A and B are shown apart, each in its own frame.
Chain A
Amino acid sequence: MTAPANRLIPDRLQSPLTRALRSWEAVLVIVAIAVFVTNAFASPYFLNAWNLSDATFNFTEKAMIAFAMAMLIIAGEIDLSVASIIALVSTAMGLAIQAGAGVPLLVLIGLTSGLLCGAVNGFLVAGMGLPSIVVTIGTMSLFRGISFIVLGDQAFTGYPDGFDYFGQGYVWWVFSFELALFAVMAVVFWALLHRTNFGRAVYAIGNNATAAQFSGIRVARVRFILFLLTGLTSGIAAICLTSRLGSTRPSIATGFELEVVTMVVLGGVSILGGSGSILGVVLAAFIMGMVTFGFGLLNVPGIVMSIFLGLLLIGVIAVPRLLRGK
């Protein structure tokens, strides 16, 4: 048996600047800059406002969900059904246009059906106390399955004029509606997580749910609301994606759930819960979008891109730990 190492208690805490420089977000900023500069030198087509604008569509919808997913993962839960919620919401909107719904009604249906899906997950996890990973693997099949039953190998097309604005419209110059919405949602979720009691409760639950419960936090209610949020953001993403594709098929958004989780983890959210920030998720979204686009410009096969993203993910997680000597 070796004696426990002496513990040093520092005379003073790190200054805010040192802390910021040593943070995960700092690593991500460096990676983002590196990716951006490399891309700019690697391809003559990268530094073009319209091209960069097109590239943002690679991540905006996924990032919208990633904000809510980050909060959920910080609270120690996960939602793997988000891509299937998109499929179901998109199908619901497709059914609505068959019935002659207009744009405002479509949006309303999109948001409500997203919330409903979230409520189902929330009820099963928070209400019945089932593990979220099991529940959402189940609803992942359930939601998309319903979409498959409704559509089979068919597609809903013929979305009304004006609906295309959400996924194809521009607010100002090269700034698309999706990018603007992404920015607004980033601010809203930043405020919610980092500036409200609700946000503190999310961290508390993620670090120790039992302690949180005894501190007077209504754990089940917070969890339920978090699932409502992933449902709602999936609904918003479904509206944008359906509008961008101009059609609905049951295979819509296949595989989005893993990309969303990757984005969250790359953003520095601990998969075990308890820590992470919205800024990290924003940076991770940009990095993933820029890497995908940059490799696309060089016509690098997609599989190389996946390998690179995997290495990036492991690298970004491993390097800070190695540096801290843990």
Chain B
Amino acid sequence: MSFWKKALTTAAMATALMANAAAAEDVKIAILVKALGIGFFEAAAKGAEEAAAELGDVEIIYTGPTSTTAEGQIEVINALIAQGVDAIAISANDPDAVSPALQKAMERGITVISWDSGVAKEGRLMHLNPSSSALIGNTIIKLAADHLPEGGDVAILSATSTSTNQNIWIEEATKVLPNYPGINLVATVYGDDLADKSYREAQGLIATYPDLKAIIAPTTVGILAASQAVTDAGKIGQINVTGLGLPSEMAGAVDSGATTSFAIWNPIDLGYAATMIAYNLNKGTATAEPGASIPMGRMGAAVLDENNEAAMSDPFTYDKSNIEQFKSIF
């Protein structure tokens, strides 16, 4: 028995000593992602490391569950609380389910922000969106318009007709259409984010609208299927496919010319910006309140709206010049 008592006391003392030592060290920022092993988040972690190197006194803990479950993330949150990290920047698997655990983290003095996939308002100080619906809506039209100096017919290939995100983006896109004279939106079709259905819908567009100049797909499944349909129909050069896509999946389409350029958030920038914000909020150099402006290093500043949400930037454009660099990342 006395051995165990000794061992326990020693361990307890070590705990106290090491806890003190840690306090004087770096700001520990946990980048908590939906699941480990996803290229997008690995890239975000690179961005976080870049921010840490720039700030100097930051230690990044890149972590996440094995599968994308809220329960798994809560287990990780509990472990992070126990380690006494200074800040948690989370991309949540569920906006509501992780909220109680994050509230507990904040009660214990941890700075909590969400990025990419947000957390309910009471579970975080602020949320960093990679972009805003208005910026995305504008970008997808601009990408098509940039390669159509004389204007022309364009069509949208979306996910499902009930996809909240896509519907908002399309709504924003239609709002900015008058700014692009000559661009004529002829149809919006839904491929339900299924590869085969999206492919058939794209084929339908090509057949129905002989003057079609561009297909805009604000979904990674749709843009890939559309570029395949355009390639198979031998319409490369006549119809430009654009929208939101993943560099790894779109590299082939960019090479063949079916897609001139497309956009998506840059995960490196996102991880970088989230780390900068977490650091500034933790150090007290900025506060999370509506209207506040939080510095994000090279990404400028995040301006919070009434829900303490901010948009990082325009979606990042990928084309022949940078696709090689990003296709191995995500």
Stretch of B4-12, B136-144, B168-176, B251-259 with 4 or more beta carbons under 8 angstroms from chain A? B4-12
Q: Which residues of B contact A303 (CB under 8 A)?
A: 36-37, 66
- The reply to whether A45 and B84 form a contact with Cβ atoms under 8 Å apart is yes
Task: Please tell me which stretch of B74-82, B177-185, B200-208 contacts chain A, meaning at least 4 of its Cβ atoms lie within 8 angstroms of it.
Answer: B74-82
Chain A proximity mask over B5-45: 1 for CB below 8 Å, otherwise 0: 00110011011011100000000000000011100000000
Does residue B152 face the partner (Cβ distance < 8 Å to A)? no
- Check A54–B81 contact: CB distance below 8 A: yes
CB distance from A38 to the nearest CB of B (A): 11
Contact A45 B15 (CB under 8 A): yes
CB under 8 Å from chain B, chain A span 168-206: 168
Establish whether residues A47 and B66, one from each chain, have CB atoms under 8 Å apart when the complex forms: no
CB under 8 Å from chain B, chain A span 266-321: 292-293, 296-297, 299, 301-303, 305-306
Are A45 and B71 CB-contacts (below 8 A) given A245-B96, A245-B97, A246-B100? no
A51 touching B12 by the CB < 8 A rule?
A: no
A18 within 8 A of B: no
* A50 to B8 CA separation, bound complex (whole angstroms): 16
Assess the A302–B69 pair: CB atoms within 8 A. Answer: no
In the bound complex, how far is the Cα of B99 from the Cα of A164, in angstroms? 12
Stretch from B57-65, B281-289, B312-320, B321-329 at the A interface:
B57-65
Alpha-carbon gap, A45 to B12, bound state (A): 9
Contact B36 A255 (CB under 8 A): no
A59's closest neighbor in chain B, by CB?
B75
**Shortest Cβ distance from residue A222 to the other chain B in the assembled complex, whole angstroms:** 32
Task: Tell me the dominant secondary structure on chain B's binding face.
Answer: helix
- Asked whether B63 lies within 8 Å of A293 as measured between CB atoms, the reply is no
Any A CB within 8 A of the CB of B72: yes
B97 touches A254 (CB 8 A): no
Tell me, yes or no, whether B83 is within 8 Å of chain A by CB. yes
Tell me if B67 counts as interface (CB < 8 A to partner A): yes
A245→B78 contact, CB < 8 A: no
Q: How far is the CA of A167 from the CA of B63 in the complex (A)?
A: 25
A299-B61, A301-B63, A303-B37 in contact; A246/B79 too (CB < 8 A)? no
Q: Which of B12, B14, B80, B82 has the most CB of A within 10 A?
A: B82
**Nearest CB of B to A250, in Å:** 11
The residue of chain A having its C-beta at the shortest distance from the C-beta of B36 within the complex is: A301
The answer to whether A254 and B69 touch (CB under 8 A), given A54-B78, A157-B96, is: yes
- With A296-B79, A297-B82 as known contacts, state yes or no: A245 contacts B70, CB within 8 Å: yes
* A217 vs B203: C-alpha distance when bound (angstroms): 65
- Neighbouring B residues of A325 by C-beta, 8 Å: none
In the complex, whether B305 has a CB less than 8 A from a CB of chain A is: no
Indicate with 1 or 0, residue by residue over A125-148, a CB within 8 angstroms of chain B CB atoms: 000000000000000000000000
What chain A residues lie within 8 Å of B66 (beta carbons)?
301-303, 305-306
**Which of A46, A55, A246 contacts B97 (CB under 8 A)?**
A246
Instruction: With both chains docked as a complex, state the minimum distance between the C-beta of B166 and any C-beta of chain A, in angstroms.
Output: 12
Q: How far is the CA of A57 from the CA of B221 in the complex (A)?
A: 38
Find B99's partner among A44, A246, A293, A299 (CB 8 Å cutoff). Answer: A246
A48 touching B82 in the complex, CB below 8 Å, given contacts A249-B94, A249-B97: yes
Q: Are A58 and B11 in contact (CB under 8 A)?
A: no
Q: Is the CB of A254 within 8 A of B15?
A: no
Judge if A247 is at the interface, Cβ distance under 8 Å.
yes
Report which of A47, A50, A167, A168 forms a contact with B11, defined as CB distance below 8 A: A47
Q: Does the CB pair B71–A37 fall under 8 Å?
A: no
Q: A301-B63, A303-B66 are in contact. Are A47 and B100 (CB under 8 A)?
A: no
- Contacts A301-B63, A306-B66 given; does A296 touch B97 at CB 8 Å: no
- Name 12 A/B residue pairs within 8 A (Cβ), A-sorted: A40-B11, A44-B19, A48-B15, A155-B95, A245-B94, A246-B99, A251-B94, A297-B79, A297-B82, A301-B63, A302-B36, A303-B36
Name the 8 nearest CB pairs between A and B, nearest first: A296-B79, A302-B66, A247-B96, A245-B97, A51-B82, A44-B18, A54-B78, A44-B15
